[in-house]
């Protein structure tokens, strides 16, 4: 007897699964909001209620992955309640880890097998451009990167679309519908909205300051003049629409008084900031290497050493030169405070201090330090980690994998025949291909994976808690999808592929040896015909050595 699937049942199941992921996204939005302010009992109650609804939806609509995460969230929040509503570092870290996993179920389909057929659930992007051909071409390019774009040819079509559904972002031409009418239209639609919609304005001509100011007032997040570069637009849209978790700020507290250190921890934990305290300043370097804080709080006067002396020791290490140091002390002498600031410190706070003052100072300093570090360790063209930093991240992941006895894979990618792209189509097209692959990798890999531009057209990916087989499956899927992209060009559109080599950490292998194995596997992929993924095996090294000898 033949059984037939009921298509209406499948559509209904798909619809209900979407409701589950929408509820998951609501939890993530609440979590992101909580990370920007001091938490209250009402905030935790809201998060608990949202988690309970997720569990109920997941049970009703047969989504086990979300159901398990919802139960874990409820248990974690119950622990907060049992702790009289007080957050501590382990609870914050546990909550953040669960939120990271929850985010991946909606952002990357491979992480949620039971939801494998679901779209990424991004709202559409509205394209309000004068040139319909440009609008259609841009919509096709966006679709390759997982965005749903709706070209709108007239003001009436735009208003009708807005009445039916608000988009996640709008690309609006300044002259859409008439002279600077796009600015007026955007300003009008923002009125009455609780949360302004992000708008990216475009003008074929260079805009003056008054026009740009009007764009800002109409909710403009970006302004593109002359041409609308798809790669740049894609990068900004990815930033605006990606629902990801910002890791909580991490603060190392060094104070010989356990009571004072605990008090400081409680104040910061109440705002969702992860802390670690140290009463023995001599252990500070080992703790810095292990904890990797965004900021350090130092007591001025400790039996083993002065805070200023400890700051000098920390600053001797290049890796920690940019980590902000805040002195927290009862020292009231302004001259001594200024002297301490000149000894490697960034700020001086006097005890006793109000929690709001401490939290605001820590948040501002940590945010600024993260932004500065991002500029120092990222490649200017792609926004990925640069060569030096991706190797440092590999080293860090290597130490954690050895310590926790977890798998670790490292992948190297190289765009095939890239020199021909530059020679035939010019370096701007080459840059566009590089930026597109960078964005493709960012969208389809986990947030816990580290992606770097190794150099030129070469990329590197660190995949913690991942064996070589799983890494190969993910990267081969990315390879196939990337090869489907068509870059508009003359006399015909351009498509590109990449080759990839993957190696998995084995035994007591060093990080450099792991990178070398991945490079060997990439070498084999290139020489086996390109456009493929090769996993390193011991015979790969042997064959490569024979070829070098030959």
Q: What does the pLDDT read at residue 93?
A: 81
Q: What is the pLDDT of residues 511-533, one digit of tens each?
A: 999 999 999 999 999 999 999 99
- Please enumerate in sequence order all residues whose Cβ is within 8 A of that of 223, keeping only pairs 6 or more positions apart, or say none: 200, 201, 202, 203, 207, 212, 215
Q: Name which of 480, 515, 507, 508 is nearest 495 in CA terms.
A: 480
Q: CB burial class (10 A; 0-12, 13-18, 19+) of residue 332?
A: exposed
Averaged pLDDT of the chain:
83
Q: Coil, strand or helix: which one is 158?
A: helix
Q: What does the pLDDT read at residue 10?
A: 54
Mean pLDDT of 254-276: 89
Q: What does the pLDDT read at residue 548?
A: 41
Q: Domain 125-241 maps to which CATH number in 3.40.50.10310, 3.40.50.2300, 3.30.830.10, 2.102.10.10?
A: 3.40.50.2300
pLDDT band per the 50, 70, 90 thresholds, residue 104: low
Q: What is the pLDDT of residues 30-60, one digit of tens each?
A: 777 776 667 777 888 888 898 898 888 888 8
- Domain 250-376 sits in CATH at 3.40.50.2300
Mean pLDDT of 145-157: 86
460 touches 410 (CB < 8 A): yes
387-549 and 250-376 share a CATH fold: no
Q: Name which of 229, 225, 209, 206 is nearest 217 in CA terms.
A: 209
Superfamily of domain 387-549: Reverse transcriptase/Diguanylate cyclase domain (3.30.70.270)
Phi and psi for 421 in degrees, rounded to 5? Answer: -60, -50
Q: What does the pLDDT read at residue 451?
A: 95
Q: What does the pLDDT read at residue 14?
A: 55
Q: What is the pLDDT of residues 388-440, one digit of tens each?
A: 999 999 998 999 899 889 999 999 999 999 999 999 889 988 988 998 899 88
pLDDT band per the 50, 70, 90 thresholds, residue 11: low
pLDDT band per the 50, 70, 90 thresholds, residue 144: confident
Cα(253)–Cα(277) distance, rounded to whole angstroms? 5
Q: Name which of 189, 184, 190, 174 is nearest 129 in CA terms.
A: 174
Q: What does the pLDDT read at residue 190?
A: 87
Cα(21)–Cα(416) distance, rounded to whole angstroms? 37
Q: What does the pLDDT read at residue 112?
A: 36
Q: What does the pLDDT read at residue 116?
A: 32
Phi and psi for 49 in degrees, rounded to 5? Answer: -60, -40
pLDDT at 122 over 90: no
Q: What does the pLDDT read at residue 239?
A: 65
Q: 201 or 34, which is more confident? A: 201
Q: Please provide the DSSP assignment of 278-327 as one string.
A: ES-GGGHHHHHHHH--SEEEE-SB-SS-BHHHHHHHHHTSGGGTTS-EEE
pLDDT at 503 over 80: yes
Q: How far is CA 135 from CA 355, 486, 545, in A?
A: 51, 16, 52
- Domain 7-115 sits in CATH at 1.20.120
Q: What does the pLDDT read at residue 542?
A: 46
pLDDT at 546 over 60: no
145 touches 440 (CB < 8 A): yes
Q: What percent of the chain has pLDDT over 90?
A: 30
Please report the sign of the dihedral spanned by the C-alpha atoms of residue 399, residue 297, residue 283, residue 273: negative
Pairing of strands 169-173, 347-350: unpaired
pLDDT band per the 50, 70, 90 thresholds, residue 111: very low
Q: What does the pLDDT read at residue 530?
A: 92
Q: Please provide the DSSP assignment of 21-75 as one string.
A: HHHHHHHHHHHHHHTTS---HHHHHHHHHHHHHHHHHHHHTT-HHHHHHHHHHHH
Burial annotation 3-41 (CB, 10 A radius, 16+ → b, else e): eeeeeeeeeeeeeebeebbebbbebbebbeebbeebbee
Structure token digits, residue 315: 């600053």
Question: Among 109-118, 319-328, 447-456, which is the least confidently predicted range?
Answer: 109-118
Q: Name which of 490, 540, 488 is nearest 516 in CA terms.
A: 540
Count CB neighbours of 294 within 10 A: 24
Q: What does the pLDDT read at residue 77?
A: 86
Q: What percent of the chain has pLDDT over 70?
A: 87
Q: 200 or 87, which is more confident? A: 200
pLDDT band per the 50, 70, 90 thresholds, residue 507: confident
Q: Name which of 147, 321, 302, 364 is nearest 234 in CA terms.
A: 147
Q: What does the pLDDT read at residue 358?
A: 92
pLDDT band per the 50, 70, 90 thresholds, residue 2: very low
Q: Name which of 464, 501, 494 is nearest 479 in CA terms.
A: 501
Count CB neighbours of 290 within 10 A: 14
Cα(355)–Cα(343) distance, rounded to whole angstroms? 26
- In the chain, where are the structural domains located? 7-115, 125-241, 250-376, 387-549
SS (H, E, C) 103-153: HHHHHCHHHCHHHCCCCCCCCCEEEECCCHHHHHHHHHHHHHCCCCEEECC
């Amino acid at each position: 007897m033949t059984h037939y699937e009921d298509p209406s049942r499948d559509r209904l199941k798909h619809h209900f699964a979407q409701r589950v992921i929408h509820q998951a996204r609501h939890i993530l939005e609440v979590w992101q909001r909580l990370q920007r302010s001091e938490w209250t009992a009402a905030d935790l109650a809201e998060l608990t209620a949202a988690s309970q609804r997720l569990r109920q939806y997941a049970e009703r609509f047969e989504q086990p992955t979300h159901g398990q995460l919802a139960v874990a969230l409820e248990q974690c929040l119950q622990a907060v309640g049992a702790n009289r509503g007080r957050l501590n570092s382990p609870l914050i870290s546990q909550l953040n880890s669960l939120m990271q996993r929850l985010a991946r179920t909606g952002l990357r389909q491979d992480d949620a097998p039971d939801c494998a057929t679901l779209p990424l659930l991004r709202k559409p992007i509205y394209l309000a451009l004068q040139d319909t051909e440009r609008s259609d071409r841009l919509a096709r390019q966006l679709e390759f990167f997982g965005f749903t774009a709706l070209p709108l040819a007239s003001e009436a079509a735009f208003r009708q679309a807005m009445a039916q559904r608000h988009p996640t972002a709008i690309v609006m031409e300044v002259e859409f519908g008439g002279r600077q009418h796009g600015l007026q239209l955007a300003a009008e639609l923002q009125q009455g909205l609780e949360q302004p919609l992000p708008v990216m304005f475009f003008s074929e001509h260079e805009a003056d300051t008054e026009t740009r100011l009007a764009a800002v007032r109409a909710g403009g997040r970006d302004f593109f003049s002359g041409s609308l570069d798809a790669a740049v637009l894609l990068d900004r849209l990815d930033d605006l629409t990606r629902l990801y978790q910002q890791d909580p700020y991490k603060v190392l507290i060094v104070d010989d008084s356990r009571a004072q250190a605990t008090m400081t921890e409680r104040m910061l934990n109440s705002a969702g900031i992860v802390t670690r305290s140290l009463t023995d300043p001599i252990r500070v370097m080992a703790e810095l290497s292990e904890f990797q804080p965004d900021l350090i709080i130092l007591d001025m006067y400790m039996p083993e050493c002065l805070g200023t002396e400890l700051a000098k020791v920390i600053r001797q290490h290049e890796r920690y030169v940019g980590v902000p140091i805040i002195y927290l002390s009862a020292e009231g002498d302004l001259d001594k405070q200024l002297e301490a600031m000149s000894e490697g410190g960034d700020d001086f706070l006097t005890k006793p201090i109000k929690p709001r003052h401490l939290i605001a100072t820590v948040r501002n300093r940590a945010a600024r330090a993260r932004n500065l570090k991002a500029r120092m360790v990222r490649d200017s063209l792609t926004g990925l980690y640069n060569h030096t930093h991706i190797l440092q991240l590999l080293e860090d992941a290597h130490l954690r994998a050895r310590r926790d006895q977890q798998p670790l894979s490292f992948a190297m990618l190289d765009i095939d025949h890239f020199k021909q792209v530059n020679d035939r189509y010019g370096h701007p097209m080459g840059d566009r291909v590089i930026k597109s692959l960078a964005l493709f990798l960012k969208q389809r890999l986990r947030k816990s994976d580290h992606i770097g531009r190794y150099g030129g057209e070469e990329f590197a990916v660190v995949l913690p808690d991942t064996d070589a087989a799983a890494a190969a499956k993910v990267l081969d899927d990315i390879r196939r999808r990337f090869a489907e992209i068509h870059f508009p060009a003359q006399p015909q559109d351009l498509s590109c592929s990449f080759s990839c080599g993957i190696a998995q950490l084995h035994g007591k292998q060093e990080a450099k040896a792991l990178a070398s194995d991945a490079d060997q596997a990439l070498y084999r992929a290139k020489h086996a015909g390109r456009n493929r993924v090769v996993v390193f095996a011991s015979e790969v090294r042997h064959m490569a050595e024979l070829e070098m000898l030959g």
